[in-house]
Amino acid sequence: MVFDILIKGGIVIDGSSRPSFISDIGIKAKRIEAVGDLSGSSARQTIDAKGLVISPGFIDVHSHSEFTIIADPRAEGKLLQGVTTEINGNCGLSAAPLIGKAIKQREDDLKELGIKERWKGFDEYFSILETRGHAINLATLVGHGNLRASVIGFDNRPPSPGEMEKMKSLLIKAVGTGAIGLSTGLIYPPGIYSDTMEIAELAKNVRLYTTHMRSEGDRLIEAIEEAVLIGKISGAHVHISHLKTSGKKNWGKLDMAFKLIEEAGATCDRYPYTAAGTDLDAVLPAWAYEGGTSEEIKRIKDISIRDRLREDIIHAHPEPSYWKGIIVSTVCSDKNRWMEGRCLSDIADRLRLEPVDAMFQILIDENLRVGAIFMSMNEDNLKRILKKPYTMIGSDSSSRSIDGITAKGKPHPRGFGTFPRVLDRYVRGGLLSFEEAIHKMTGLPARIFHLDRRGLLKEGFYADIVIFDPKDIKDKATFKEPFLYPDGIYHVFVNGRLAVYDGRPTGNHSGEIIKNQRFDL
């Protein structure tokens, strides 16, 4: 047989969770042509994989690269940790639809990333991506926040019957264009203003519902119950984003969380860190967000309203140690660059302010555009979550590179280290086998997210492949130095083309948009 590329004698872990085996793999064009003993075959290029693991390309089920992939299509932070496919559009925020107040709310993001194009729907967005090219495959959910902001804006009220129909229409159009499901972000505006039935009615139009729930701490159990109910009413499969028990007083809730998830047949994802990352203004109470960014800033600036904000925040987080666990990761202004990588307690001391007042000042100075890392989780619970057979791996990060427009601040190291960290810390550390971990990164997400002919090393499947050293794979990114590539990953194929060779990106942008396969509800 004659192949374009022949991978010889590697340890094949095929993504199905079955035991590894020694095998060759032959690639023609975009597909895996043969798996087995291919002695006597020839190829344009041969790679010796003896002693190395050959795995399906990793699938990052929880990504936020909607805009960074346009700004920098290299996506090197993901590619060099073995990610060949991302699921975007999580937490209620997607690339489309962007209509009315939805596009207005995203303008600062687009300008900051130097993105000049504007679009309304996924058809236009996909066209821009295809024109530019991109290094990894992309699938996307539809953000409920986009639907609501496009139709209702950021008002704290239920939709009228006519507005509900408009949201349904936008959702159906997005799914018809290729989106694979619906996501919610129920701690963020405007999703925070929706009720259970609004979401359930929308979810009837998809087969997959993913959710950043209303609570991951004090009301964790109630939040899971709501997610399960939405799945029951709508018939959509429920997938819980970055399952966690946030805050020490909530660490004991995991058994009940598992019980509810398992009874519902739901799934979840998690990143292998005990620190979360999101916008700093997530600390504010829900009522502060109403009306969008401009109204939120007005409230923070208004002294009388700020007193009420302070009271609500301190009531929710009375412990002084809370502020030591919040690290400013990214700011926009040069004058506040010194804050990046520092906790709010230290920043407050330098500013001679109370931590909550320091936070208000930072949010005003930066026009709310402040990223933060929250140290709030428990390692034992993380291990228990990762061990569950229905848990997949998601970075909860956008794609970045070590230089260029996306190389800013001190973002969470999960953007460069998630997948190698699982294989090093939790496989070589004894929690999971290589077969179990790779199944969580490949075959399982491909099945749950309906990624056709991906996630397995199987004849006829797309040749998304990672070759790594099982003894040396290791994440290197840290909270102080997040822009560091991992060790031990040698070669990465995306749709049959070498995207990483001998640990270095080749510049091949062979990623594709993975669109929803049409289905009958």
In total, how many domains does the chain have? 2
Under 8 Å between Cβ of 51 and 480: no
* C-alpha torsion angle, residues 273, 275, 276, 280 (rounded to 10): -160
In the listed set 350, 375, 400, which residue is the last one of a domain according to the structure? 375
**Runs of H (alpha helix) within 58-191:** 68-71, 76-79, 101-112, 122-132, 144-151, 161-177
223 and 355 belong to one structural domain = no
Tokens 């959702």, residue located: 171
Are 151 and 108 found together in one domain? yes
Shared-domain flag, residues 126 and 187: yes
* Together in a domain, 110 and 160: yes
Write the DSSP string, 336-352.
GGGGTT-BHHHHHHHHT
Is residue 71 in a domain?
yes
Integer Cα distance of 421 and 271 in angstroms? 9
DSSP SS3 for 57: coil
Strands 42-48 and 2-12: parallel
Residues 260, 210 within the same domain: yes
Nearest 5 degrees, angle CA 94-CA 239-CA 389?
135
Task: Note whether 406 and 353 are same-domain residues.
Answer: no
Same domain, 256 and 389: yes
B/e letters for 21-36, b = 16+ CB within 10 Å, e = fewer, are: eebbbbbbebbbbbbe
Among the three residues 448, 477, 501, which one is the final residue of a domain in this structure?
A: 448
5 within domain boundaries: no
144 token code pair: 């409920």
On whether residue 324 sits in a domain, the answer given is: yes
Which pair of structure tokens corresponds to residue 462?
């797309």
Which residue among 358, 375, 392 closes a domain?
A: 375
Judge if 331 and 419 occupy the same domain: no
Does 135 lie in the same domain as 256? yes
Task: Provide the whole-model pTM.
Answer: 0.95
Angle between helices 122-132 and 161-177 (to 10 degrees): 30
Q: Which residues, listed in sequence order, are joined to residue 38 by a DSSP beta bridge?
A: none
Q: How far is CA 45 from CA 32, 105, 463, 498, in A?
A: 14, 48, 15, 11
Q: Per the domain annotation, does 368 fall within a domain? A: yes
CA pair distance 165, 331, nearest whole angstrom: 39
Closest C-alpha among 326, 307, 309, 316 to residue 370:
326
Same domain, 415 and 267: yes
Q: Given this model, what pLDDT does residue 472 score? A: 97
In a domain, 463, yes or no: no
CATH code of residue 193? 3.20.20.140
Structural domain including 353 reads 280-375
Structure tokens at 153: 């804006």
Residue 353 DSSP label? S
322: Cα within 13 Å, side-chain hemisphere: 16
pLDDT score, position 319: 87
Indicate whether 113 and 140 sit together in one domain: yes
Looking at the domain assignment, is residue 519 inside a domain? Answer: no
Q: Phi and psi of 266, rounded to 5°? A: -85, 175
Low-confidence stretches of the chain (pLDDT < 70) are: 518-521
For residue 517, tell me if it sits in a domain: no
Q: Is residue 313 part of a domain?
A: yes
295 in the same domain as 180: no
- Specify burial of residue 180 (Cβ count, 10 A radius: 0-12, 13-18, 19+): buried
Whether the CB-CB separation of 37 and 23 falls below 8 Å is answered with: yes
Q: Which two tokens stand for residue 89?
A: 């559009």
Specify the amino acid at residue 284: L
